[in-house]
Structure 1
Amino acid sequence: MTPTTLFAEHDLRQTLNDEFHARPPVPLESPQLISYLAFHQQDVAAGEAQRHLAELGERLGRPLDAGGPHCLLDFGAFQLKWELHNEFTSYTFIRPVARGEGLDGSTSALAVVPQDWLRAIPGRLMVATHVELRSAAEVSPEEVMAQLSPTGRQMVGAMVADGAAWVFTDFLFEDGFSRFLVIDVSLTRRQAGRTVQRLVEIETYRLMALLAFPVAKDVGRLLGRAESDLARLMDRTGSARSPEDERGVLADLSALAAEVEHSVARTTFRFGAARAYHSLVMQRIEELRERRITGLPTFHEFMERRLLPAMNTCQTMARRQEDLSGRVARNSQLLRTRVEVELERQNQELLAQMNRRAKLQLHLQETVEGLSVVAITYYASQLVQYMAKGVKHFIEPLTPEGLTAAAIPVIAGIVALGLHRMRKALAAADGGH
C-alpha cells in the first residue's frame, strides 16, 4: 500500500521532488576532456533548443524526447549534458581520451561533435570553456607550476576538495575559450564530476552577472544628467512667482519621473539577476573548499578583486536609481501640494467673489420686491378706484377717492405678507433639498 492509494496527492508533489534531484553531476574519471557552451536565449523561440537537440539524436541514431528542461545523452564517442535555464541553455560535452592524448591542446571534446550541428545551436554564445581532467600521473602540479613562472601570466589556482585535486585557470579567452586544468590527485568519480560542474558554473555565472555592468554604466550616465535636471528644477521651484511657473516645473518634473521610472523598470530584473548570479559564483567557490597554492591567488581572492567591484558598481547604480526615483516623487508631491494650495486660495477668492455677488443680488432682489409691492399696490388701488367709480351711487356718502385711499394700506399689507410667505416657502423647500 502506497501513500498515493491512501491520500489525495498534490499535483506537483512528484514534479517538485524530481526537481530537487535534478541536474546531478556526471561522474567522471580522468583523463577526460570537457567542453562547455552556454547560449543566451534572448529572441529564441520556445522549444527551438529542444528541437535542435532532438535533431542531433536522430542524426547519431539515438532518437530522444527532449521535452524536459535537462537531459544526459550518451552517444558513445561522447556524452552530452543539456540544461535549459531561465536565460540560457548549456551544453556540456564529455569525451574520454587515452592517457596523454590532447595534452598539447590539439583536440577537445567538441572535435567528435558534428560541426554543422554546433554552428546551428540556437541563441548567442555567452560562455565557452574547455576543462581538462588529468591524473597527477599524467600532469603533475609541480610541472604546471614550473611552466607558469617563466610565462609571467596571471594564473589563478587552488587545491580543492580538501586537497584531492589542483585547479588552474587564468579566466582569459584563448581561441574564444576559457580553460581550466583539473589535476586529479585522489578524486572519486563523483567528486571529479562535482568539481568540473562547479568550475563551469563559476564561469557561467561570472559572465551572466557581468551582463549588468554595461547596463550600470548606461544608468550612471542617465543618473548624472537626471540628478542635474532635478537640481535645476528645484531651483526653478524656488524662483517660481506665478501658478503658471509652478505648473511648468511640475510638467517637467513629471516628464523626469517618467524617464527615471522607465529606467527602473528596464533595469530592475538585470540588477536583481546580477545579485543572484554573483551569489551563486561565491557559493560555488565556497563549495570547492579551496586551499592556497603558494604564489597564486585563490578563486575567492580573484573574484573579490575582479568581479566584486563590478557587482558593487551595479548595486550602487541600482540604489542611486531608486533614491533618485524617490526624490523625484517627493519633490513632485511637494510641488503638486504647492500648486493645489494655490488653487485652493484662488477657489476661496472665487467663492468670496461669488458670495459678494450673491449678497448684492439679494439686496437687488429685496429692492425689486419693495418696488413690486408698490407697483402691485398701485395697480390694485387703481382697480379698486375703477370699481368704486362704477358703484359710487351705492357707496354714498363715501367717494371713490376716499375708498381707494383707504384700500391702499390694506392692499400693500396683503401684498407684502404674500411675498414674505412665498419667500419663506421657497427657502424651506431649498433647505429640504
Structure 2
Amino acid sequence: MVLYRLASRLGVSNRKLSGVWAGPASAFGGTSAFVHRSCSSASSSLARQNGHDAHEVDLMHHHSGVSGDLYAIIYANGTAHKDTASTASPSSLVSEPRPLPTPLLNPFPMTPATVNNFAVMKRLNHPMRKQLANEILFRPLQHITSPARISMFALLHRQGEGEGRVDSMDGRKAEEAVGIDPIKAVTSLCRRYAIPEPAVGQRYFHADVGPFQLRWERSEEFSSFVFIQSPEHYIHPFDTPASCPQFNVSLDNAFETSVFSCLPSDWIETLPSSIICAAHVTVVKGDEGDPPPSQRQLREMFAHNYVVGSYMHSKSARVFTDCRIHSDGFGRILVQDLASRSVGRLIHQMLELDVYRILALLGLPVATEVTGRVDAIQAQQHHILKTINRIQSPQEESKLLQELTEMVLSSEQMFAQAQIRFSATNQYYQILEERLQHLREERIDGIQPLGSFVHYRMNPAIRTCQSAEYRAEELCKSLQRTADLLQTRVFVELEESKASRMSEMQKNSVMKLQLSEAVEGLSFICLSYYTAQLLNTIFKALVSLGVLSISADCCMAIALPFVIGSVWAGLRLCKQRMRTHASRLFRKLEQERSTPIKAAAKAGQGQAGGKGDRNHL
C-alpha cells in the first residue's frame, strides 16, 4: 500500500502501478507488513545517512505529507515519474539511487556550522524547553475525509498507571482490571504489524498499520484507542484482511460492520477489562442540498432508539447519535459530511464529547454514597447535641468528646476522598461544555439538538455531585463547631475545678501561716522562760559563793528584759537569714531556668542578624 501512495505522489495511476506489481505476494512474501517493515528500516538508515533523524522524518510527514516509510523509496527514486514508473520492476526501484532535490525533503541542509550551532544551543537550552515547546503539538488532529469508519474505546487506568483516583469512599480502588497495560497493548499491536513502537513516556502515538490507522492518546486518568478506515486502505486486495469486508459506506449499511472487527481477536483478548467508553463513528459523504436521513433510516441505524442530532460547524456536517450502548458494546455516531472537506476536527470533538460525558458521570455513584454517609453522620450529630445538656459527670463528657472526634476524622477523610472525584467531575463537565460550544450547533427540523439533550440529561447528575460535595463540606464544618463547643464546655468546667482547688489551697495556706505564727510566738515564750531559769540558777550559785552581794531574785529581775530582748533579736535574725537564703536559692533556680531560653533567643537574633547582613550584602 505504501507503493500506491508513492504512485499518487508521483502522478502514477493505481492501475499502471498494479500492472507493474503483478506479483507482489511472491516478491515480498505475500504480506504488506514486509513492505512496511522494509520501508521503515530503509527510511531510518537513509535518514541518518542524509542528515535527518527520526524527529525530522516525522516533521516531514506532518508538514509535507510525505511519511517516513516513503522516505527510502522516494529518496532512491527522486526523479521517477509516470512513464518510468509504469515500466519499472521491483528491483529497479531500489537499485539506482538518485537523490531528490534538497528543497523537497531537506530545505535546511546540515552544514558544519549548523551542527556546531545545534550543539551550542543544546548546551544552552533550559531542561524543560523542548517539553514545553512540544506541549501545544501534543495532540495533532487526524486528517479524515468521507467516507470513513472509526472505532474508539477508552480504558481507565488501573492502580499505579495514573494518579490512581479513588472510586469508592472506603478507600478502595476500582476493581483490578484483567489484562495488559494500555501502553503494552499499543506496543504489542505495533510489533504485530511491524511498525515503530511508541517511545517510553510518550503520551500520543499514531501510525498507519495497514488495514486501518491507529491513534493512541494517554491522559491522566484514561487512555483512548482510535482506529480509522478510509478507502485508501483498500487500494490493493492483499492489504485487506480476510476478516475485513470491502470498504463500502452508505446510509443503508452505516453500522453493519466496523473497524473493530478488523482487529486481531487474540490482541483484543489481552486488553484490560476497564473500558469506560466505546463508540463506532460512520462518516458518509453528502452534499449541502441533500436532505437529512429519514426517521425510518435513523430508527434502523440506531435500533429504534431516540435519536438526537444537529448541524455542526456552520452546517458543514450533520451528526446523529442516540447516546446508548448497543448490543456489540459500542455507541453509534453518524456523521454526514456536507462540505467535502476534512472532518477530522469534528470526529475528534465528538469522540471527546462521548468520553468526557461518561467520565463526568463517574462522580455520580460517589455522590450517592457520600449522601448516604452524610445522612448517617448528621443523625449521630443530632443525638450528640441532645446528649450534651444531659451530661452529669466528666467521664461522660470525655466519652462524648472522643466519639465526636472520631466522627470529625471520619467525615474529613470521606470529604478528602470524595473531593478528588468531584473535582474531576467538574473539570470534565467544563471540558464537555467547551466542546459543545466549539461544535457550533444548528438545529435540524424535527430532531432535538445534541447540546440541549446533553445539558438536559446531565445537569441533574452534575448538580447532585455538587450538592453532595457541598453537604459533605458543611458537615465537616458543623462537626468541627460541635467539637469546639464540647471542648469549650469541658475547658470551662476544668477551669472552674482549678479555681475551686486554688481557693482551697489558699485557705490552707492562710491557716498554715497562722499556725506558724502561733508556733513562733510559743517558741519565743519558751526560749525566754528557759533562758531566764538558766540565768536564775547561775545567779543563785554566785550568791552562795559570795560573788554577788545582792539576792538572786534582784539579779533576775534586772536581767529579764535583756533576756527577752536577746531572744527576740535572735529569732528575728534567724528568720531574716532564712529568708535571704531562700531568695538566693530562688534567684539561682530562675537563672538556671532562663539561661537556655536566653541562649535560644540570642541564637535566633544572631540568625536574623545574619540574614539581615546577607540581605544587606
TM-score by length of 1: 0.90
Specify the alignment match of 1:22 in structure 2. Answer: 138
SS across alignment from 1:246: helix
The answer on 1:92 being equivalent to 2:226 is yes
Q: 1:12 to 1:395 in 2, by over 3 A?
A: farther
| Structure 2: distance between partners of 1:297 and 1:186 | 23
Q: How far off its partner does 1:405 sit?
A: 5.2
SS across alignment from 2:293: helix
Match of 1:415 among 567, 589, 595: 567
- CA deviation profile, 1:212-237 (whole Å, cap 9, x unmatched): 10110111111111112212211222
| Structure 2: distance between partners of 1:153 and 1:49 | 32
Q: Is the 8 A contact 2:542 2:548 kept in 1?
A: no
Equivalent pairs counted in the alignment come to 430
Q: 1:350 to 1:262 in 2, by over 3 A?
A: same
Q: How far off its partner does 1:72 sit?
A: 1.1
Specify the alignment match of 2:174 in structure 1. Answer: none
Q: How far off its partner does 1:376 sit?
A: 2.8
Match of 1:215 among 340, 343, 366: 366
Specify the alignment match of 1:37 in structure 2. Answer: 153
Q: How far off its partner does 1:296 sit?
A: 1.7
Q: How far off its partner does 1:315 sit?
A: 0.2
| Structure 2: distance between partners of 1:105 and 1:358 | 99
Pairing 1:86-235 to 2, within 5 Å after superposition? 86-97=220-231, 98-100=247-249, 103=253, 105-122=255-272, 124-136=274-286, 142-148=292-298, 153-174=305-326, 175-189=328-342, 192-235=343-386
Q: 1:383 to 1:321 in 2, by over 3 A?
A: same
Deviates more, 1:92-101 or 1:277-286: 92-101
Q: How far off its partner does 1:244 sit?
A: 3.8
Specify the alignment match of 2:216 in structure 1. Answer: 82
Q: 1:262 to 1:373 in 2, by over 3 A?
A: same
| Structure 1: distance between partners of 2:397 and 2:553 | 74
SS across alignment from 1:42: coil
| Structure 2: distance between partners of 1:49 and 1:120 | 10
Specify the alignment match of 1:11 in structure 2. Answer: 127
Amino acid at match of 2:267: W
| Structure 2: distance between partners of 1:373 and 1:64 | 108
Q: How far off its partner does 1:374 sit?
A: 2.5
Amino acid at match of 2:443: R
Amino acid at match of 1:74: D
| Structure 2: distance between partners of 1:92 and 1:254 | 51
Q: How far off its partner does 1:114 sit?
A: 1.8
Q: Is the 8 A contact 1:165 1:187 kept in 2?
A: no
Amino acid at match of 2:212: F
Q: How far off its partner does 1:399 sit?
A: 4.7
Q: 1:148 to 1:50 in 2, by over 3 A?
A: closer
Specify the alignment match of 2:207 in structure 1. Answer: 73
Match of 1:292 among 438, 443, 456: 443
| Structure 2: distance between partners of 1:390 and 1:117 | 131
Q: 1:78 to 1:387 in 2, by over 3 A?
A: farther
Q: Is the 8 A contact 1:51 1:66 kept in 2?
A: no
Q: How far off its partner does 1:238 sit?
A: 3.0
Q: How far off its partner does 1:73 sit?
A: 1.9
SS across alignment from 2:139: coil
Q: How far off its partner does 1:391 sit?
A: 4.3
Deviates more, 1:55-64 or 1:19-28: 55-64
Amino acid at match of 2:221: E
Unaligned runs of 5+ in 2: 1-116, 163-179, 232-246, 591-617
- CA deviation profile, 1:35-63 (whole Å, cap 9, x unmatched): 11111113255794323322222221113
Amino acid at match of 2:329: G
| Structure 2: distance between partners of 1:329 and 1:397 | 95
Q: Is the 8 A contact 2:190 2:196 kept in 1?
A: yes
Amino acid at match of 1:177: F
Specify the alignment match of 2:88 in structure 1. Answer: none
Q: How far off its partner does 1:247 sit?
A: 3.1
Q: 1:406 to 1:32 in 2, by over 3 A?
A: farther
Amino acid at match of 1:118: I
SS across alignment from 2:205: strand
| Structure 1: distance between partners of 2:269 and 2:312 | 35
| Structure 2: distance between partners of 1:162 and 1:207 | 27
| Structure 2: distance between partners of 1:135 and 1:32 | 9
Deviates more, 1:240-249 or 1:91-100: 240-249
| Structure 1: distance between partners of 2:338 and 2:452 | 23
Q: Is the 8 A contact 2:319 2:336 kept in 1?
A: yes
| Structure 1: distance between partners of 2:528 and 2:211 | 124
Q: 1:268 to 1:424 in 2, by over 3 A?
A: farther
Q: Is the 8 A contact 1:159 1:166 kept in 2?
A: yes
Match of 2:481 among 313, 330, 350: 330
Q: How far off its partner does 1:258 sit?
A: 1.4
Q: How far off its partner does 1:309 sit?
A: 0.4
SS across alignment from 2:145: coil
Deviates more, 1:177-186 or 1:39-48: 39-48
Pairing 1:311-350 to 2, within 5 Å after superposition? 311-350=462-501
| Structure 2: distance between partners of 1:74 and 1:148 | 32
Q: 1:395 to 1:326 in 2, by over 3 A?
A: farther
Specify the alignment match of 2:188 in structure 1. Answer: 55
Q: How far off its partner does 1:158 sit?
A: 0.6
Deviates more, 1:121-130 or 1:144-153: 144-153
SS across alignment from 2:457: helix
Paired-residue identity, %: 29
Specify the alignment match of 2:73 in structure 1. Answer: none
Q: Is the 8 A contact 2:286 2:336 kept in 1?
A: yes
Pairing 1:243-392 to 2, within 5 Å after superposition? 243-388=394-539, 391-392=542-543
Deviates more, 1:340-349 or 1:395-404: 395-404
Amino acid at match of 1:76: G
Q: Is the 8 A contact 2:311 2:318 kept in 1?
A: yes
Q: 1:383 to 1:29 in 2, by over 3 A?
A: same
Amino acid at match of 2:306: Q
Q: Is the 8 A contact 1:42 1:123 kept in 2?
A: no
TM-score by length of 2: 0.65
- CA deviation profile, 1:141-190 (whole Å, cap 9, x unmatched): 5334442469763111011011000001101101211110111111522x
Higher relative contact order (CA 8 A, sep 6+): 1
Unaligned runs of 5+ in 1: none
Deviates more, 1:159-168 or 1:36-45: 36-45
Q: 1:44 to 1:55 in 2, by over 3 A?
A: farther
Amino acid at match of 1:66: A
| Structure 2: distance between partners of 1:5 and 1:44 | 37
Q: How far off its partner does 1:331 sit?
A: 1.8
Q: Is the 8 A contact 2:313 2:439 kept in 1?
A: yes
